[in-house]
Amino acid sequence: MAVAQIPDLNSWEIRAQISELDRGHLAQGQTAEMTVVAMPERRFTGKIKSLGGTNGPQWDRKFECLFALTEPVKEFRPGMSARILITTQVLKNALWLPSQALFESDGRTFVYVRKGDSFTPADVQLVRRSESQVVITGLREGQIVSMASPEQSSKKKDAAGQGGALKALKGS
């Protein structure tokens, strides 16, 4: 009977539960950058070793992703927490908005753009979508868009007396 297990300190792995929405952007062998919470000043690299099966309720499905660290250090201990950053694609000069500012109806993709004191629908093209952001074309940087449908906002004004709005931002 085994009394203890001694971990191999030369081959550390990190397990992460990732939203099913991101599965199509990941592949075995893809590079990732990690920060161990106990050592925030240090950056580590690794690669996706394997992608597991999807599990969980339909509204919150996740899959297990296993990362192999490229250069483990002697300070690592089992059970440490890490933050993982996986860059799947870099979009230069991309115009992005929070995902709740994008609307889809009857085959159209649009945002509500401020014109004077009101908002009017403007067709845009969806380039890429994540859980919290969308990358679009069809707007100019700095145009103000509504964060909610003006039809809904006019029925339910927020505490400030108008619906939320923001400027379209360009980033890389």
**At 58, which CATH number?**
2.40.30.170
Give the domain CATH number at 101.
2.40.420.20
- Is 7 a residue whose pLDDT tops 80? no
171 falls in which pLDDT band (50, 70, 90)? Answer: low
Paired sense of beta strands 125-129 and 94-98, if any: unpaired
Burial 58-97 (b: 16+ CB within 10 A, else e): eeeebbebebbbeebeeebeeeeebebebeeeeeeebbbb
Q: Give the model confidence (pLDDT) of 69-112 as tens digits.
A: 998 888 888 889 999 999 888 888 889 999 999 999 899 999 99
Which residue range is the domain that position 122 belongs to? Answer: 94-171
**Could you tell me if residue 64 is inside a domain?**
yes
The DSSP letter of residue 153 is H
| 72 and 30, same domain (yes or no) | yes
Q: Are residues 22 and 54 in the same domain?
A: yes
Q: Checking DSSP bridges between strand 169-171 and strand 13-19, what pairing results, if any?
A: unpaired
Q: Look at the pTM and tell me if it is higher than 0.75.
A: no
What share of the chain in percent tops pLDDT 90? 48
The more confidently predicted of residues 172 and 61 is: 61
